[in-house]
Amino acid sequence: MMSTMLYYSTNKKAPVATLREAVTKGLAPDGGLYMPERIPMLDDDFLGRLPDMGLHEISMKIAAKFLEGDIPLDELHSMICETLNFPVPLKLIDNSFYALELFHGPTMAFKDVGARFMARLLGYYTNRSQQELNILVATSGDTGSAVANGFYKVPGIHVFVLYPKGLVSTIQEKQFTTLGENITALEVEGTFDDCQAMVKRAFADEELKNKKNISSANSINWARLLPQTFYYFWGYAQLGKGAGELVCAVPSGNFGNLCAGLIAKRMGLPIYRIIAATNRNDIVPQYLKSGVFNPRPSVATIANAMDVGNPSNFARIAELYDNSHVKISNDIEGFVCSENDIRSAIKSVHLAHDYLLDPHGAIAYSAMKSHAIENPDICKKNFFIATAHPAKFGETIESIIQRQIELPSNLARFATGIKQTTEIPATYEALKEFLSNS
Ligand SMILES: *Cc1c(COP(=O)(O)O)cnc(C)c1O
């Protein structure tokens, strides 16, 4: 049997870690992100049989390639079934253009996949230890709810959600501020980038870490990234036999989703090209053009879960491609969408195809369409990742399509809850003081 997988830091100044260390630490001690020391290949037989397999079977095969030896396979199987207990349909919009709908989980955004898997994996490890684990998570909207709901009432784990005051939608906020129990919401007087920087500081703070067992649930945690590879294979499987190569458009903020797609490609999934679709926070599309990665403060858009000025998973992407701009831009193409383009995509797709996009999906849809128009010689199947249910952004969508949309029961159940938060200034000292006293 092959030895278990080890994980190294993208900064290369920390010792290699076991799975348990990598996922309970979240971020490596040198500030880098953990990467598996090898990307396993899937054989042609598996790839050929994809259309005959279900979501759980496919996920199990991929997960085992990374986790076998660390997690007993029967445990892994239940983790996967409990994580993906909702459908992930590939919907035809027109021609060879599809939406892979990842928003049918409990908080109706794709982050349910990563957060639920991570909660179960960490739950497996905390069950075997005595110490309480504190999860810190910065959110621009959807991560907080997915993580809070994924970890809700998991024994031995306390979750602290940091979010920018006034910059998330009402329903997003309700999803992580009304739960209580082991979920604490911190309303930060700043931006998402401030929240993310505060969380990063906490992980670098030895004094705090000596007092408290802390971990991160942001997409820097490998436990969130791994399960995101599953659905690329599942999306492809749903295209049926003889699908050929694929173009995938991914609405991106911190680039965890896109990074998982690149790993799926490296494992053998025939992705011809992957499109990094962003809103005006176009750090990566700019990098693809210029070769210079230049983070800058994020600006607010109607696709708020993608308002990220320093995409943390870029470090993993660079690592996958030996830091080569040439190699990266060979596989990834950039696309930037303005607020107006988001609105007109939502409107036109609703009119022409009776399909309702959310602002994030609308960006990826536009990217996919534009790539097809600009490359008429490349005839591939195309799907984009539909990351959130349109009802999560009800006010925005209704103003665009001039029609009311129904709130699905998964969201309606949060609407009546009472918000409980603590407001803190956007400084690390404020966070540290709060954590030290709780
Ligand atoms: C988080 C999020 C994104 C961005 O995903 P990343 O993995 O951070 O790039 C896109 N759409 C929605 C709805 C999200 O919640």
- pLDDT 10s digit of each residue in the chain, 438 long? 568 999 999 999 999 999 999 998 888 989 899 999 999 999 999 999 999 999 999 999 999 999 999 999 999 999 999 999 999 999 999 888 999 999 999 999 999 999 999 999 998 998 777 788 999 999 987 788 989 999 998 888 999 999 999 988 888 899 999 999 999 999 999 998 899 899 989 988 989 988 998 988 877 899 999 999 999 999 999 999 999 999 999 999 999 999 999 999 999 999 999 999 999 999 999 999 999 999 999 898 999 889 999 999 999 999 999 999 999 999 999 999 999 999 999 999 999 999 999 999 999 999 999 999 999 888 899 999 999 999 988 889 999 999 999 888 888 888 888 999 999 999 999 999 999 988
pLDDT of residue 286: 98
pLDDT at residue 203, rounded to an integer: 85
Shortest-distance atom of ligand 1 to CA 111: 15
- The CB of 109 under 6 Å from ligand 1? The reply is yes
Atom 2 (ligand 1): residue with closest C-alpha? 305
Quote the ligand 1 centre to 161 CA distance (angstroms). Answer: 16
Are 140 and 307 within 8 A, CB to CB?
yes
CA of 352 relative to ligand 1 center, distance in Å: 26
Q: In 37-152, at which residue ranges do the beta strands (DSSP E only) sit?
A: 90-94, 97-101, 133-138
All structural domains of the chain? 88-108+225-406 (3.40.50.1100)
pLDDT at 359: 97
Across the beta sheet with 214-216, the strand order is 214-216, 133-138, 157-164, 183-189, 422-425
Q: Two tokens at 113?
A: 């996949």
Dihedral sign computed on CA atoms, order 392, 396, 400, 404: positive
Residue 290 CB-half CA count within 13 A: 9
- Residue showing tokens 């750090």: 283
Q: Name the DSSP letter for residue 305.
A: G
**Ligand 1 centroid, distance to 39 Cα (angstroms):** 23
**Where do we find the tokens 């690390």?**
428
Q: What is the pTM of this model?
A: 0.92
